């Protein structure tokens, strides 16, 4: 039996611990050890981005990392986007409203890339969105509605942000 080492990773806000082989890919750790199957595998050359998750604030292709490399880190997967009460994230709403998905296989990766994009650039242009998701391949949608979905979410988040500011202002 291959040697295993203990790793601790915070996933979607929860501390998870597991004994893993050094060669276990992060994507397999997420999908099989943690049973979070929202993150998908679409290729074997790091091109497709279906395995995209957010690790320590940055998007990574989890198929190109070992689980042990994430030891002590913090991961956000698609399962962690909605609130604990089940309220969908603005991006998830956007994808549904704008028909930004068909078969759904690239969607978790797209959501995570878009999430990171909007975090660093809350008001991206169409060109910036297309560059922002250029590491995620999709066969079904032709990307057009995905761009609309991200724009929809950006607008929604901006509005919520300004409403929150307004509320704060009023509260003051």
Partner 1 sequence: MGHSVKRKEDLRFIQGKGNYVDDVNLPGMVYGQVVRSPYAHARINSINTEKAKAVPGVLAVITGEDLAKANLAWMPTLSYDKQMVLATGKVLFQSQEVAFVVAEDRYIAADAAELVEVDYEELPVLVDPNKALDSGAPLVREDREQKNNHIFHWEVGNREATEQVFQSAEVRASVKAFFPRCHPAPLETCGCVADFSRATGRLTVYLTSQAPHAHRTVLALVGGIPENNIRVISPDIGGGFGNKVPVYPGYVCAVVASLTLGVPVKWIETRSENLQSTGFARDYHMMAEIASDRDGRMKALRVKTLADHGAFNATAQPTKFPAGLFSICTGSYEYAQAFCEVDGVYTNKAPGGVAYRCSFRVTEAAYLIERVVDVLALELKMDPAELRLKNFIPEDKFPYKSSLGWTYDSGNYEGAMKLALDRIGYQELRKEQAEKRKKGELMGIGISSFTEIVGAGPSHDFDILGIKMFDSCEIRVHPTGKAMARMGTKSQGQGHETTYAQIVAQELGIPAGDVTIEEGDTDTAPYGLGTYASRSTPTSGAATAVAARKIRDKAKKIAAYLLECNENDLEWEPGKFFVKGAPSKSKTIQDIAFAAYTNFPPGMEPGLEAVDYYDPPNLTFPFGTYICVVDIDQGTGEVKVRRFLAVDDCGNIINPMIVEGQIHGGLTEGLAIAFMQQIDYDESGNVQGGSFMDYLLPTAVETPHWETDKTCTPCPHHPFGAKGVGESPNVGSPAAFVNAVVDALSHLGVKHIDMPITPWKVWKVLQEKGVAA
Q: Per rule CB under 8 A, is residue 103 in the interface with partner 1? A: yes
Q: Which of 15, 45, 83, 85 binds partner 1 (CB under 8 A)?
A: 45
Q: Per rule CB under 8 A, is residue 134 in the interface with partner 1? A: yes
Going along 110-171, which residue ranges are E strands?
A: none
Contact 7, 71 (CB under 8 A): yes
Joined tokens for residue 132:
């922002």
With CB under 8 A as the contact rule, which of the stretches 54-62, 65-73, 104-112, 158-166 interacts with partner 1? 104-112
Residues 6+ apart with CB under 8 A from 123: 154, 158
Tell me whether residue 31 or residue 170 sits nearer to partner 1 (CB atom). Answer: 31
Nearest approach in angstroms of CB 96 to partner 1 is 4
CA-based end-to-end distance of the chain = 63
Contact 11, 77 (CB under 8 A): yes
Q: Per rule CB under 8 A, is residue 106 in the interface with partner 1? A: yes
Q: Per rule CB under 8 A, is residue 23 in the interface with partner 1? A: yes
For partner 1, the binding residues (CB under 8 A) are 1, 21, 23-24, 28, 31-32, 35-45, 47-48, 50, 77-79, 81-82, 88, 92, 95-97, 99, 101-108, 111, 129-131, 133-147
């Amino acid at each position: 039996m291959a040697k295993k080492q203990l790793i601790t990773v915070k996933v979607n806000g929860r501390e998870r611990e597991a004994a893993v082989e050094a060669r276990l890919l992060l994507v397999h750790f997420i999908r099989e050890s943690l049973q979070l199957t929202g993150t998908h595998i679409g290729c074997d050359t790091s091109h497709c981005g279906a395995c995209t998750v957010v690790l320590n604030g940055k998007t990574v292709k989890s198929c190109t990392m070992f689980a042990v490399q994430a030891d002590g880190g913090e991961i956000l997967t698609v399962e962690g986007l909605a609130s604990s009460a089940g309220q969908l994230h603005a991006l998830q709403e956007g994808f549904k409203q704008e028909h930004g998905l068909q078969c759904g296989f690239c969607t978790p990766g797209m959501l995570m890339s878009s999430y990171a994009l909007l975090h660093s650039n809350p008001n991206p242009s169409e060109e910036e969105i297309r560059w922002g998701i250029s590491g995620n391949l999709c066969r079904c949608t032709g990307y057009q509605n995905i761009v609309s979905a991200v724009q929809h979410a950006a607008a929604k988040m901006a509005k919520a942000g300004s409403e929150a500011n307004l509320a704060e202002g009023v509260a003051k």
